[in-house]
């Protein structure tokens, strides 16, 4: 019997390596796929590419920028998504302050200072207690290097041009789990409230002592949440779902 498909959608400057602990925990039971967020300059383009490469039906697990793509996937082809997991993301588009910060990143990269952008972002990516955790930071830096400056610029432009997804939240009818690290330096409790208030029946799980990267910072907890969620929404014959 075919294994259910799970598509992982990653955040900016992150690669499939951010899901390594989840691959180790879930690959025996699920067909794991990874969306390509490296070639498009719009969120709509990223979503269309994800849909073009994904199987007909799949669970969608999205982190950060991947969440922006997930919202677009639910607008373009909601019938293909079995369930949705949103990790460390938000539904609103950028305000002026966020746009200015991103434009500052773009200027740094265009001046040949891509490495400075990576180092500037680290304090907002991980829990304060992990900012000297060299093995964790080495993974973050390696993913950024593998992404590269040109892809980062495409991702920034896509994020800056994304639509406000709050008006379309009420149309999301698939089972939805929202996950946030309690010390996330990018998303806030208000962002979570907007999502769970907009998607009927959405469930929320907060991960204690965790920043913006739950998949790497708290892999055991994240794996437990994902395994339980996917099992609950398993549509194979004989499953409990």
Percent of the chain with pLDDT over 70: 98
Segment 172-190 shows an average pLDDT of 98
Contacts of 3 (CB under 8 A, 6+ apart): 29, 30, 31
Per-residue pLDDT of 217-226, as tens digits, reads 999 999 999 9
Structural element, H or E, at residue 46: helix 43-53
Instruction: Show me where the domains of the chain are located.
Output: 1-241
What is the average pLDDT score of the chain? 95
72 and 47 Cβ atoms separated by less than 8 Å: yes
Q: What's residue 201's pLDDT? A: 97
Segment 199-206 shows an average pLDDT of 98
Long-range contacts of 73-81 (CB under 8 A, 24+ apart): 73/47, 74/168, 74/171, 74/172, 74/174, 75/47, 75/168, 75/171, 76/44, 76/47, 76/48, 76/51, 77/51, 78/171, 78/172, 78/173, 78/174, 80/51, 80/54, 80/56, 81/57, 81/174
Q: What's residue 189's pLDDT? A: 98
Residue ranges of E strands in 88-122: none
Confidence band of 239 (pLDDT split at 50, 70, 90): low
pTM equals 0.95
Distance CA 129, CA 186 (A): 16
Q: Which CATH architecture fits 1-241?
A: 3-Layer(aba) Sandwich (3.40)
Confidence band of 235 (pLDDT split at 50, 70, 90): confident
Residue 88 pLDDT > 80: yes
Residue 203 pLDDT > 90: yes
Q: What's residue 241's pLDDT? A: 44
Contacts of 27 (CB under 8 A, 6+ apart): none
Could you tell me how many helices (H) and strands (E) the chain has, helices first?
10, 6
Task: Work out whether the CA dihedral 195, 68, 16, 151 comes out positive or negative.
Answer: negative
Distance CA 154, CA 84 (A): 25
Percent of the chain with pLDDT over 90: 94
Q: How far, in whole angstroms, is CA 151 from its chain's centroid?
A: 17
Q: What's residue 2's pLDDT? A: 85
Segment 83-109 shows an average pLDDT of 94
Per-residue pLDDT of 47-81, as tens digits, reads 999 999 999 999 999 999 999 999 999 999 999 99
> Which tokens hold the place of 149?
């400056």
DSSP assignment of 181-241 equals ETT-SS--HHHHHHHHHHSTT-EEEEETT--S-HHHHSHHHHHHHHHHHHHHT--STTS--
């Amino acid at each position: 019997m075919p294994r259910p498909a799970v598509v992982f959608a990653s955040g900016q400057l992150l690669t499939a390596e951010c899901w390594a602990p989840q691959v180790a925990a879930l690959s025996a039971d699920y067909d794991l796929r990874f969306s390509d967020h490296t070639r498009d300059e719009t969120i709509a383009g990223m979503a269309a590419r994800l849909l073009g490469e994904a199987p007909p039906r799949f669970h969608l697990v999205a982190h950060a920028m991947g969440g922006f793509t997930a919202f677009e996937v639910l607008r373009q082809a909601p019938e293909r998504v079995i369930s949705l997991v949103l990790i460390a993301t938000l539904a609103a588009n950028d305000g002026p302050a966020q746009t200015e910060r991103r434009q500052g990143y773009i200027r740094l990269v265009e001046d040949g200072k891509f490495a400075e952008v990576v180092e500037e972002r680290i304090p907002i990516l991980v829990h304060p207690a992990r900012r000297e955790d060299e093995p964790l930071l080495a993974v973050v830096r390696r993913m950024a290097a593998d992404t590269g400056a040109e892809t980062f610029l495409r991702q920034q432009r896509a994020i800056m041009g994304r639509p406000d997804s709050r008006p379309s939240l009420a149309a999301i009818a698939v089972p939805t789990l929202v996950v946030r690290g309690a010390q996330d330096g990018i998303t806030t409790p208000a962002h979570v409230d907007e999502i769970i208030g907009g998607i009927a029946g959405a469930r929320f799980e907060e991960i204690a002592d965790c920043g913006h990267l739950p998949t790497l910072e708290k892999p055991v907890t994240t794996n437990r949440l994902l395994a339980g969620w996917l099992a609950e929404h398993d549509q194979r014959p004989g499953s409990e779902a």
